[in-house]
Chains A and B, each alone.
Chain A
Amino acid sequence: MPTAPALNEPYAPSESKGRDHLEALLRHRQLDHTLWGLTPVPVRGSDPIPTRWLVPTGIAPLDARLEGGLPRGHLSEVVGPRSSGRLAVAVSALAGATSRGEAVALIDPLDMFDPVSAAAHHIDFPRMLWVRGEATSSSRVSLSLEYGTLQKSLDRGVKALNIVLQAGGFGLVVLDLGEVATQAIKRLPYTTWLRLQRVIESSDTACVLVGSEPIARSSGGVTVLLAPGSGLPAEASFITARVVRSRAIESDHHVRVPLSAAAC
């Protein structure tokens, strides 16, 4: 806990010292977030981020690794191979947000979300906006048509994400790119993600991208890397995760966390 500077302390004329003085004063009064906008930049060794600026995933060990949850106002990602639990982590976070009375959104470009299986996480569906793209899982489409449809669905999904983020008012917005081919994602201009980050950086919305490989993460966001699971349904209640931050020294420590409805 930093000590509060005395108000009668002589004011230094230099700009840097004056800023330090002001920051210390604001930090003491828990108003330090005003220095960087709505969301403070997490710096290792500094004060912990207030929990109101985080969106817990609802999985206690993972939240502990995330130091509270996914940061608001930033672009984070949950990535991993198939059946690694990436969608379960996202749905768990969505369920936790709805239980706190927040509105959430799921952008589903390929229309693959299954409400019945997600209901096990006690998600409050009336608070969840579901934007469904076109399903492309037909087994009889030609390769060119399939790729064209896929790219179109992806473009629409990103546009829908942009619209939802611009509207504001959502605590958590998830874009599910888990089954979108990596080549299609790479065809998107990289400025796409910069623009999305620009949209949410002054808001209290946490945006999460779900994919098979790292896609994009803002400077204050986190990447949750999920390791391939055993693939056995009997052990499907456990996931192996590693958290990567851009501004923190990250160890290779993996955490194996239980993924159960009770953890939500």
Chain B
Amino acid sequence: MIDFAPNEEQTAIRDLAHQIAVEQFRKHARAAEEAGDMPAEVRRVLAETGLLTPFPEEYGGSGTQDAVTHALIMEELAWGDGGLALHVFGSILAPLALLLAGQESDKLAFLTLCAEEESAVGWSEPAAGLDVRQMGSALRTYDDGWRLDITKRGVIHGHTKGIKLALVRLETSSGNEGPRLVFLPPDDTECVIEVTAEEEPLGLRAAPRARWRLRDGAGGGAIVLGLPISRDLPDEGKPGTLRFIALANVLLGSLAVGTARAALDYAADYAQNRIQFGKPISSFQAIAFMAAEMAMEVDAARLLIWRAAHAWDTGEDALRLAERARMQAIKTAQRVTTDAVQILGGAGFLQDHPVELWMRDAAALAALG
């Protein structure tokens, strides 16, 4: 049954996320950008809400969410601050990956660790960006072992000492078997990832990011999530990985929608209070029509995200929908944040207002891939 209204539970959790966005993210956005990390107070409040641990309680989490709810939460958080929202996004990626693609043993072994220490998933690549079909990183299996090549960029929390996962394509004797998540043990001495911090990115600075590089790694204990020991057993790793990628696209797209909505709300509010020629500038059609177009684009982007999230929740193949939605949302965020700066005029160019930050954030989102 077609419905465009969130249910009670979704509304409650969205309101909670909005409250955190207002009371924590908005308040600490500039400080977080300056520090290049999430302030301790914000982290403490977030941890209390359980939003950082969206996995079952039996593994030390605070319960799972459906994709639509994930989208609602992420939009609100990003409305508060994109950088801090990306920090959260980076923190929940590995738990979601383990949950969706991992076997029971993986979940038991690693999920609790995710609740204790920051984790990271390498996704974007220098050449392929976020397009997993074009990934260069690969795990190649041979009769006598395997070889691992990884080149990642924009890895949120990439410097962590905790759980590290990377998206790679699996190459076996039967060829390219598609994307898989590979677990990189932190104490493996033969398979050490070279981590380089990405210094002073254009935007979203509150989420520290790094580049990963591993050439011809071998030996040790890299684990492909969900890959059965025997060929005769069902391979849950691949469908799980694809579902993980789809959900990650939904989340990133929601982050873009939240950023765009923040800019729209701020610019609309500013336009009503900024008086020129004796009238609020919102009464001039040149400004009002820009705002109307921004509102159209934000609504369109959000509905595409919801549609993809709903497909994910009903078990449909949501990957393509989610990728398209993410791309539209990021384009929308760039356009809307740039127009917001324009509506504020000279004031928009100053750091007195957050729109210059959001314009950089949207560009940094696009730069992720």
Query: Is this pair of chains taken from one and the same complex?
Result: no
Chain B positions near chain A (C-beta within 8 angstroms): none
Chain A positions near chain B (C-beta within 8 angstroms): none
